[in-house]
Amino acid sequence: MPEKVKIIAPAGEDSMQMPAVALRGLVVFPNNVVHFEVGRAKSIAAINWAMEHSAPVFLVAQKDINVEDPGAKDLYTYGVVAEIKQFLRVDEENINVLAEGKFRAKMEFLEKTDGMLMADIRTANITLPHDDQQDQVTAYVRRIKEEFHRYMTLGQRVSKETVFTVLSNDDGRFISEYVPSNVLFRYQDKQTILEAPDLVSRLETLLRIFIKENNVLELEREIQDKTNEVMEKEQRDYFLREEMGVILDELGEGDDIRSDAIAYKKKIDSLPLEEDVAAKLNKEADRLFKMNNMNQEATVIRAYLDTCLDLPWGVYTTDCLDLKKAQRQLDKDHYGLEKVKERILEILAVRKTAGEVKGQIICLVGPPGVGKTSIAQSIAKCMNRKYVRMSLGGVRDEAEIRGHRRTYIGALPGRLIAAITQAKSSNPLILLDEIDKMASDFRGDPAAALLEALDPEQNKTFKDHFLDIPYDLSQVLFVTTANNLDTIPKPLLDRMDVIELGSYTRVEKLQIARRHLVPKQLEKTGLKGQVKLPVSVLEAVIDGYTSEAGVRNLERTVAKLLRKCARRLEEQEIPEPLTLTPEDVSQLLGPRRRKPAYLSRNDQVGVANGLAWTSVGGEVLPIEVLVLQDGSGKIELTGSLGEVMKESAKLAVSYARFHAGEYGIDASILKTADIHIHAPEGAVPKDGPSAGITLTTALISALSGNPVNSKIAMTGEITLHGEVLPIGGLREKAMAAYREGMRTVLIPRDNESDLYDVDAVVKDKVEFIPVERLDQVLNYTLVCAKQAQVSAKQKKAE
């Protein structure tokens, strides 16, 4: 603490410097004892300093209670110098303080020093009344007491001690300080009273605020009385109806179909329905009115009317399009997925700026377990919309979407109408989960039935077969999820705004496990605070026991590990907390389940590392080529290769024959030797043109005897003349290369723009080299490519 600080003013001076405490929602008056809680570090430091030095503190209210780190502009000018009587630490962050206000003071300067607020203050005692003002003071005191009595009669709780003190004291200064301290005024009003320059104006301000407060309380009581009257009437009507029902039951007339029909018509009239819809429902209610209790059709009509009237006609939730709130919600629920979050925020921004945007259907596409369903829930939360999930996996009946016609026994509305009824809102967020898993058969095509529901030009008058009346779905926000776009019909896919979710990186999986999966499983297993999983343990689990694009299997493995820990704690009575090590993981979970991927890790002849896309992420796909002498020029292709990949292999052979001389290859070998091309993991089907440059590289290497650089992976389609064409799935393939430790990846030149979608951590660790022709590929991949070309040219010259 600086030596210049003065805690007590010398005789004859009224200015001093002392620690200041900013109060939220609390105004302290002189000569009053208050309890308050302090939790901010600067305030705690000021209290501790004052107690250590037996010094007073300056208690001042802040203008906005939401400001966490207030400065001079955030505080009122007037406060109270107080003496700390006692303080008690409640927990690690908060302390309870008992303080007594001594006198009013005005803050002239505020500075932040040594982790607390220091204020230069000047005594600001209130101006006392002159002799000719005493009668005025007495009148104000009497009126304030009258308002105090009125305040109590309005039901406000005041302690007996406070009542006795106020009513038995006539001192104007005491009343002006004691009453506002013990009455529930707004802190802004209390501050206004405190800042009054003289006693008369303070009493006048207190009386004015007291009258206003009592008037508000009287209005509240009137409103409460009216509400009670309405409630009593409703309860009376309810009991009368119950008694009437009992009487009708005794008379055998309890199931009065006519009274039901009348009730239906009243409800129809009370709903905001279109004229044609109301006419149809009233027609059904009239039919019900004319039927007798024994008619089976009455049950069908009742079920129909109940279904129609249970729909939330005209009920909408108000959208919250706060982008900052949406950002916080998405960051809280999901780690990573930055590009996905950016797309979602862009969609919300457009809805905010353009007002009502109809026909926007979001399709989240990605491998299993990457958070598609949970992202939809987060969108619903941040937009303040009701959330309903519809699983479409395995749905093959059109009636599941559009409902059954009422001519069938047991007919029901479709899933869309059922979802609207469940949401109790006409503008919910409906998640159409696994939309790529729908099928069709003789009962119809559910994908075709969805076309009307997802078409912004038609869904305003969507007709369910069961309802047979139009219902407005244009305000519904549809979000669909899929693992693969290939199985979604093109007309349906054309109505969607596709957002792709890629595989998680190892770093993302680690952070997701730390922030979400581990706390969730610790809570579920009851081991919170008893077991600790360091980063090294989570890395061991990710690397040795999971192999997936998402994190579902990782969560199951963490749960299994914690169950093993729970058993160990119970059986061996290990002292808590139990901190696991990577060695403990193998003891609890057994040997590593994930075997190292097969790929070329050393420079070899005839083996090149390619990259492949799968529905669960990317994979490194090695290609092996073996040249067998004394053959017949036959080409053998193995490894479950598809037709397109076989054609790529034939292109590679043709290219090798034409350019054999450039790489020192005897062209006659291709006529007499057999060539065997193999892709390992033969049980896994493989197809696609993107292995073209890998096949060519491995073949040229095998024929020339030149090894391939094992730290380079590649992907690209080839033409007969050696051009390299673009491919798909670059993000997933790049992730696979990064995961397997590749240093360089060769990609087609036309895919260079796709690097924008590749994660930053991958681009930092892997060098991506765009290529246009096969000779560029071979120059990069073959260890001695340039020397081979020079030797070939020399032989040709000789």
Task: Cite the active site residues.
Answer: 690, 733
> What is residue 516's DSSP assignment?
I
CA distances from 578 to 186, 455, 510, 528, 585 (A): 51, 56, 20, 11, 13
- Half-sphere exposure of 470 toward its Cβ, with a 13 Å CA cutoff? 11
Of 97, 54, 221, the C-alpha closest to 154 is: 221
Burial class (CB in 10 A: 0-12, 13-18, 19+), 668: exposed
Q: What whole-number distance in Å separates Cα of residue 206 and Cα of residue 200? A: 10
Are 714 and 608 in contact by the 8 Å Cβ rule? The answer is yes
Element of type H or E holding 100: strand 95-113
Q: What whole-number distance in Å separates Cα of residue 793 and Cα of residue 332? A: 63
**Residue position matching structure tokens 């007291």:** 210
Those residues with Cβ within 8 angstroms of residue 590's Cβ, 6 or more apart along the chain or in another chain: none
The string over 269-293, giving b where at least 16 C-beta atoms fall within 10 Å of a residue's C-beta and e elsewhere, is: eebebeeebbebbbebbeebeebee
Are 407 and 300 in contact by the 8 Å Cβ rule? The answer is no
**Residue position matching structure tokens 């009593």:** 232
Cα of 22 vs its chain's centroid, Å: 35
Q: What is the largest CA-CA distance in the chain?
A: 131
Q: Can you give the length of the chain in residues?
A: 798
Q: What whole-number distance in Å separates Cα of residue 628 and Cα of residue 676? A: 8
Structure tokens at 730: 């670059």
Which amino acid makes up residue 165?
T
Structure tokens at 241: 């109806």
Coil/strand/helix, residue 679: coil
Q: What whole-number distance in Å separates Cα of residue 276 and Cα of residue 283? A: 11
Those residues with Cβ within 8 angstroms of residue 658's Cβ, 6 or more apart along the chain or in another chain: none
Are 33 and 97 in contact by the 8 Å Cβ rule? The answer is no
Looking at the DSSP bridge assignments, the partners of residue 636 are 676
Coil/strand/helix, residue 358: coil
> What is residue 111's DSSP assignment?
E
Q: What whole-number distance in Å separates Cα of residue 108 and Cα of residue 84? A: 22
Q: What whole-number distance in Å separates Cα of residue 92 and Cα of residue 98? A: 18
Looking at the DSSP bridge assignments, the partners of residue 608 are 623
Q: What whole-number distance in Å separates Cα of residue 351 and Cα of residue 360? A: 10
Structure tokens at 478: 């549809």
**Residue position matching structure tokens 């007499």:** 672
Element of type H or E holding 210: helix 199-250
Of 387, 388, 376, 372, the C-alpha closest to 329 is: 376
Of 288, 291, 294, the C-alpha closest to 306 is: 288
For CA atoms 496, 498, 499, 503, the dihedral sign is positive
Looking at the DSSP bridge assignments, the partners of residue 123 are 105
Structure tokens at 31: 């000569």
Coil/strand/helix, residue 97: strand
- Angle separating helix axes 323-333 and 372-383, nearest 10 degrees: 150
